[in-house]
Chains A and B, each alone.
Chain A
Amino acid sequence: MTDREHYEAVVVGCGPGGAAAAASLAENDVETLVLERGVEAGSKNVSGGLLYAEESSSYTIDDLFPGFREEASEREITEYQMHNVSGSQVKSFDITELHEHDTEWSDSVLRRKMDSWLEQRVHEMTVETGGGVLTDVRVDGLLWEDDEVVGVSCAELDPIEADMIVAADGVNSELAREAGMMDWEEPEEWFHGVKAVVDLPDEGVEERFHLPPGEGAAHLFAGDLFEGVRGGGFLYTNEDSLSIGTVFHLDSVVEQQVEVHELLDSLITHPVVGEWIPDEYTELEYAAKLTPDSKKVAHPSPGQGRLALVGDAAGQMQAQGPVIKGMNHAVTAGALAGDAFVEAEEKGMDPGKAYVKQLSGEGIFRKLRPRRYKVARALGENGPMTALTDGLLTSFVGRWFMRRGFMKRLTGWAMSSPWMASMMPDTRTPYVTLPTVVAEEMGEEVDSENDVEPKSLLDRIGDLKYDTDVGNPHINVLDDSWEASGAAVMACPVSARDFGGGCYREEKVKAGDVTERTVSLDTQPCIECGTCAVVADTEWRHPNGGKGVEFKEG
């Protein structure tokens, strides 16, 4: 025995995954300490976000936290539409069927409000076990003994031992990386999400979206409005604001060398959203974050010894076509981690192993890495196949077919089919080419005006709240050559090529006759999205507890 502090369970992170794990552990009378790096849970978190309660899941958030929907979420989403866009031509499909597949309910959420509510409930529950929630604490590593993880080390606290460590520390989990279970190497394993929360003053959401009281709508966008980048846009209704954003494959962002804030602006200023976005445009917050693509990166065995990876930390974020399901999987996995503790004690096994068993029993892995996608990937995710399908669609024949009445029905069916969604290959065809051709051949001109002036990057950064850890930058560029780290200048959501006020800047260093292209970094405006950990050569960590950006909406 050491004289270190010991808790039966330590949960790192108080997002939906950590909150669910802690609630389930507390429910099972396990002494639980939750460590969250933000000043308050939610202050670091961003999602689109529609939170699903799946019929097939054994745990949903309102099971674990009674009163959740009344107090912590925004609106129940009852209308779900997909808009295929080419120029100002739009073809919309009602895909509520896809949205309702395996869905008990789905609410829009804003993360600061939601997570801080969860934090309070979790604290009340875990205090009863002898633990509680501590904010402003960053876990900076795992505590090892004889090659086994026995606890955590923290920037702000002395090391803590635990019988179970739940790493629910989200995307770019430093713990998962230290355990050797995840890495941050491949851009194709991540989605890049950027989002603005827009105020809807005076006018009710219901009025603008023609919705019954209390209900909400989700609109999704794909086609030619994002410079060919694979991904799409979303617009969700909150209680009295809108969440508008984009989610792209990170490798595509890098390949196309686009500036992600400009793509968000393309959506905000497009006529397709003109009827919903108020002309008096008040952007409450700009935010961004990476999120994993479970199809490629969900860890097949996310528990080892005393350690269990939950939620984004384990890559458990599922994009099922346009439906994004990360929070709900984090909740289910977190709750199962709590059950695993009990099973492990009863059976004398490692909690990590018990956790993997619980996940398998629940069928989580099948959802996160659908077999159908594996087939689609093998067959469809290659250059020649993409060229063929793109060529076919854009050809005279393809377009002729598109104009047939039965194709409209077929396309509508395909877009709202969960089966099709789960086997959608990750290529240009479904994200860009097909929606563009659909809009051109089946769509109509949108008649809405959109005179919105989006905020400049400078104002977006200026309106965010930061507590800078002066003299202690959390990111260091290891290789500042353009080849190694230049991608960050465009992909960083608070940087741009001709903008000096962001994180990454292009520098031209002249040595004799040779001009070298390098990058420089100032972490002050960083919004901790995690992108440059993957696309640049950096030594990357989260800022210490309570430091860095503080989101108010999320």
Chain B
Amino acid sequence: MHYVVLTKGVPDFREGQVEFDDDGHLKRGATPTVMNPNDHFACRAALQMKVKHDGKVSIMGMGPPDFSKILYEGMERFYADELYLLSDKAFAAADTWATSITLATGLKKLDPEPDIVFAGFKTADGETGHTGPQTDWCIEWPIITHVINMTYEEDDEVIRAKRLVEGDPDEIETVECSTPAVVVTDPEFETSYRKASHRLRRKKLREETQERAENHEEYTTQWGHEELNLDPDYVGLDGSPTIVSGVDPIPKPPSERDATMVTPDDEDGMQEVVEELVPYGGGA
């Protein structure tokens, strides 16, 4: 079995990491790039398959050469076997459509071809949620989205998944589909390792990965438009029908507020503070 996770590098939006310039634009150079947090669920789903049913996990992403460190993060944290970076100046500034075409071509070039492709739900920077389903559209496989947990029946080669209907956590349905297939994990996705043998195998994979991760370059393949046999007119900016009409900077919080200084010893002042606050506390 070959499991492939599609991933993207995004600015690290966690507090303390992200930096903006005076106009409220993201300082891309000063903000570290990390694996899209929702893709962690896809990686976990792929790892769970590998632990329970053997096979190998590849991680594929499109982006500039330094995105290889995002793929490496996937190897280190989710014990991936191989890393594929689709990187070429011609791929730059792609929208979700051009990205999907590129990724789909990458997937088809893999040997062996994937049995299950995993994608995360929405990227932290684009928030479209298009890439997984569009890539699937290109390769014409069955797809299950909003998956919150899954099992695989080896004999019948069938995925059985629980998914949120329309992403609603109160409506869950169980679906089945044959492989090869695309699975889009929901942020509610949960792995389950209830067998000791599975946990022991996961631990072994972690140990094996440590050695691999030290030489991760050896396990990384980079493909450009030539290797993928893609016409530059159909990928990157040129192949992207999306037109960004403008970008609104993130409004800055007001930096000046009216403040009245009151020292705790100032009884009258404190009384006024209490009177000001009482209505907010729901008091008389």
Contacts and interface: CB of A to CB of B under 8 A. Distances in A.
Interface of A: 5, 7, 33, 35, 123, 127, 131-132, 134, 137, 156-158, 160
A5 B204 contact: no
Contacts of A35: 196
Nearest to B199: A134
B180 to A, nearest CB: 29
B204 A157 contact: no
Interface in B186-203: 194-197, 199-200, 203
Nearest to B194: A158
Contacts of B204: 127, 132
A5 B200 contact: no
Interface in B1-24: none
Contacts, number: 28
Contacts of B195: 5, 157-158
Q: Which of the listed residues B195, B196, B203 has the most CB atoms from chain A within 10 Å of its own CB?
A: B196
**Which size class do B's interface residues fall under?**
under 10
B203 A132 contact: yes
A33 B195 CA distance: 12
Contacts of A131: 200
Contacts of B199: 134, 137, 157
A134 B203 contact: yes
A5 B197 contact: yes
A137 B200 CA distance: 12
A160 B195 CA distance: 9
Contacts of A156: 194
Contacts of A5: 195-197
Contacts of B194: 156-158
Given A33-B196, A35-B196, A157-B195, 15 more contacts: A5-B195, A5-B196, A7-B196, A33-B200, A132-B200, A132-B203, A132-B204, A134-B199, A134-B203, A137-B196, A137-B199, A157-B196, A158-B194, A158-B195, A160-B196
Contacts of A7: 196
Interface string B63-87: 0000000000000000000000000
A137 B203 CA distance: 13
A258 B134 CA distance: 70
Contacts of B197: 5
A267 to B, nearest CB: 41
A11 to B, nearest CB: 12
27 contacts: A5-B195, A5-B196, A5-B197, A7-B196, A33-B196, A33-B200, A35-B196, A123-B203, A127-B200, A127-B204, A131-B200, A132-B200, A132-B203, A132-B204, A134-B196, A134-B199, A134-B200, A134-B203, A137-B196, A137-B199, A156-B194, A157-B194, A157-B195, A157-B196, A158-B194, A158-B195, A160-B196
